[in-house]
Amino acid sequence: MTGRDFTAPADLLRPPSGAGPVRSRRPVYLDLLPPCNQGCPAGENIQAWLAQVHAGHPEAAWRELVEDNPMPAIHGRVCYHPCETVCNRAELDSAVSIHSVERFLGDMALERGWQYPAAPAQTGKRVLVVGAGPSGLSAAYHLARRGHQVEIRDAGAEAGGMMRYGIPAYRLPREVLAGELARMAALGVRITLGHRVQDLGAERLEGNFNAVFVAVGAHLSKHVDIPAQDARRIVDALSFLSKVAAGERPVIGRRVAIYGGGNTAMDAARTARRLGADEAVIVYRRTRAQMPAHEDEADQAEREGVRINWLRTITAFEGPELTVEAMELDQDGFPQPTGRFETLAADTVIMAVGQDADTDFLRSMPGVEFKADGTVVVSNSMMTGSPGLFAGGDMVPAERTVTVGVGHGKKAAGHIDAWLRGADLTDLPKHQLASFDRLHLWYFGDADRRHQPELDPSERVSTFAEVAGGLSAEAAVYEAGRCLSCGNCFECDGCLGACPEDAVIKLGVGHRYRFNYDRCTGCGVCFEQCPVHAIEMVAETV
C-alpha cells in the first residue's frame, strides 16, 4: 500500500436498477468501535493516535495517547498487545504492529522532552495512593490531571513496582522507566518511598486524605514444599529478579532449573542465562497450550537456549540432582502423576509458581471483603466495601499485567473524582463493534508488517542490553498507515466520487462529509463502496 488514493470499481459507480426519486432508505454517517480500542485494557483510543502518526503529527498522536495512558514508552515494550490479537488487519495479511508505534511515540516524547498538560486549578481534595506500581501511578496521573492533590506511598526504595523489580532490563531499560517517572513528578504527584503502610485508617486520618486508592502489587511468592538437602539452593523468582534489578549478581551455578510456566518463569530463566548459566531448564506440570506465559515469552526464552520440560513436576532436590515426575493429562485436561521419574542436573532451583498480593494491612478496614485467594472485592466503580477506599491492579481479581493495572488506575481515578464531587459516574454506551465481516476491503492492498530489529540470540545472553530496538520514523508512519480505520471515516473521498447524484458534500479536511438528502435517491452506492463501514443505510422515516 503506497497511499489511500481512491479508485472505485466500475460496477460500484453505477446505481442499482430501480433507483428513483422516492427513497425507501437513506445513508447516514456513523462511527463504530474499532476492535483494537475495545481490546485495550488501558482504554486507549488507538485508532485516533495511529491516524495522527500516519498524518505526520507525532506530538499530537502522543498527546492523544497520554489522555488515557501516561507511560507509552513503557507500554510499547512490556504490554502483550491484546489490541493486535483482535486487529482486523490480521484477517487481511497481518495485524498492525500497534505496540511498536506506541513505543516510537513514547521514545520520541522522552527524547524531545514533551510534557503532560499542566494540571488545572486545585480542587482542595487530597487522595492517598498506596503503591507506586503501574496501577498506582496511573491513578495518580489521572487524579492530578483532574486537579486533586495526590501522594503515593510505597514500601520500595524506588518507584515502579513490578515494572522495576519484576521486569528485567533487557525488556524495560531503567532509563526509560526513569524518564516516564520524572514526567509524572513534574505534574506535581508526590511520591514517598521506603514507607510501608500498616495502619491505613490512621494514615488516612492523619494525612487528611479524602479518598484512598490501594494498588500494592503481587510481591509475595507462593511456595511449594520440595524435599531438599540444601534449602538455600531453592530461591523464589521474585526475590531473584529483584536482586538482579538492584544490581546484584546472585550465585546460581552453571545449571539452573525454574519451576513454573508463567511469564515470571520465562524472565527468571532468561535472566539466569545472562548471569552465566550454561543450562536453564523450565519444569512445568502442564502442556505448552496450558501455560500461563504468553507465547512470545516462551519463544524468546527458547531462542536464548532455555529448555522447557512440559508435563513434569519436581518431587525432590538433592543438589546437584533434581528429581522430576512425568505427568499425563486426564480426560478433563488436568495433569496426573504417572510414577515415572527422571533426573536432571541443577545447582539452583528457582521457584516461579505464582504470586500473591500482601493485603493483610486491609484486614482491619471495616467493610473490606476478600475472596478465597486473598484478592480484594471491589464494585464496578473499583470501590471496596469501605466508603472512599478504592483498589485495583494485582490485588483485585483480574489478569495481572502492566496494562490491566494502568486501566484499573484510570477507571478508579474517574470514579474517585466523581465520588469526591458527590456525583455518579455512568458508563457511556459504546458504539457497535466494527467487526471484520462489516468491512469492504477491496480498497486496501497488501502491506507487509514492519518488524522491530532484535539482538541476535547469541549476543543477548551475555548482556542485559535491550533485546528489541525501535522503529524508524519512516517505518512507524508506514505501520500506522496499515490501520484500516475500522468503523470510522478517514476521508478517502470514496463516497464523494461514487455518488451518481452529487449528493455528498465534502466539509473540509478533518470535518468529513454530509449528505444532501434533496438530491440523494437512496441507491446505496456510497454504502457499498465505503471500505470501513462508516456509512449505514437506514429505513426512511415519514
Does 442 have pLDDT greater than 90? no
Does 20 have pLDDT greater than 90? no
**Helix axis angle, 237-245 relative to 263-274, nearest 10°?**
50
Question: Model-level pTM greater than 0.75?
Answer: yes
Separation CA 315–CA 345 (nearest Å) = 14
pLDDT of the residue at 7: 42
**Banded pLDDT at 475 (limits 50, 70, 90):** very high
Each residue's pLDDT tens digit, 502-513: 999 999 988 999
Phi-psi region of 382 (alpha: psi -120 to 50; beta: other; left: phi over 0): left
Separation CA 59–CA 62 (nearest Å) = 5
pLDDT of the residue at 425: 80
* DSSP helix/strand/coil, 213: strand
- What does the DSSP 8-state code read for residue 365? S
Does 6 have pLDDT greater than 70? no
Separation CA 127–CA 149 (nearest Å) = 6
**Banded pLDDT at 172 (limits 50, 70, 90):** very high
Each residue's pLDDT tens digit, 369-428: 999 888 999 999 999 999 999 999 999 988 889 999 999 999 999 999 999 999 888 777
pLDDT of the residue at 225: 78
Query: Of 216, 195, 209, which is closest to residue 136 (Cα–Cα)?
Result: 216
Task: Examine residue 320 and say whether the peptide bond preceding it is cis (omega within 30 degrees of 0).
Answer: yes
Does 360 have pLDDT greater than 60? yes
* Reduced DSSP (H G I as helix, E B as strand, rest coil) percent helix, strand, coil of the chain, to 5: 35, 20, 50
Each residue's pLDDT tens digit, 176-222: 999 999 998 899 999 999 999 999 999 999 999 999 999 998 777 77
CB 340 within 8 A of CB 326: yes
Query: Of 298, 283, 291, which is closest to residue 341 (Cα–Cα)?
Result: 283
Domains, the chain: 10-31+489-539 (3.30.70.20), 35-114+439-481 (1.10.1060.10), 126-219+357-420 (3.50.50.60), 222-354 (3.50.50.60)
**Banded pLDDT at 25 (limits 50, 70, 90):** very high
- The values of phi and psi at residue 162, to 5°, are -70, -20
For 58-74, b/e burial (b = at least 16 CB within 10 A) is beebbbbbbbbbbbbbb
Separation CA 150–CA 265 (nearest Å) = 35
Q: Which three cell numbers stand for residue 329?
A: 493429562
DSSP 221-279: EP-----BS-GGGEEEHHHHHHHHHTT------SEEEEE--SHHHHHHHHHHHHTT-SE
pLDDT of the residue at 499: 95
Mean of pLDDT values over 111-119: 93
pLDDT of the residue at 1: 37
Each residue's pLDDT tens digit, 68-101: 999 999 999 999 999 999 999 999 999 999 999 9
Each residue's pLDDT tens digit, 34-67: 999 999 999 999 999 999 999 999 999 999 999 9
CB 347 within 8 A of CB 252: yes
Cα end-to-end distance, the chain, whole Å: 44
**Banded pLDDT at 270 (limits 50, 70, 90):** very high
**Banded pLDDT at 21 (limits 50, 70, 90):** low
Phi-psi region of 502 (alpha: psi -120 to 50; beta: other; left: phi over 0): left
Does 454 have pLDDT greater than 70? yes
Separation CA 305–CA 180 (nearest Å) = 32
- Name which residue leads in pLDDT, 301 or 2: 301
